[in-house]
Amino acid sequence: MSDDPRAKVSGRYFYHMREVPCHPLADEVALQEAFLETCAQCTGVRFPSDPV
């Protein structure tokens, strides 16, 4: 384990040791909700916070 602050980065993406932005659609809440709904329809399993 390292105490180097650069080793404790979370929530960021790296490619070839350089920080890169995530795809813009990754921040779209409506798209995330649609994905979770599709997963629920396919599996019959919903996240506990999902409305019934």
Q: Would you write out the chain's pLDDT as a tens digit for each of its 52 residues?
A: 678 887 787 778 888 989 899 889 988 999 999 999 999 999 999 988 755 5
Backbone phi and psi for residue 14, each to the nearest 5 degrees, phi listed first: -130, 145
Q: Is 2 exposed, middle or buried (0-12, 13-18, 19+ CB in 10 A)?
A: exposed
pTM, rounded to two decimals: 0.57
pLDDT at 26: 87
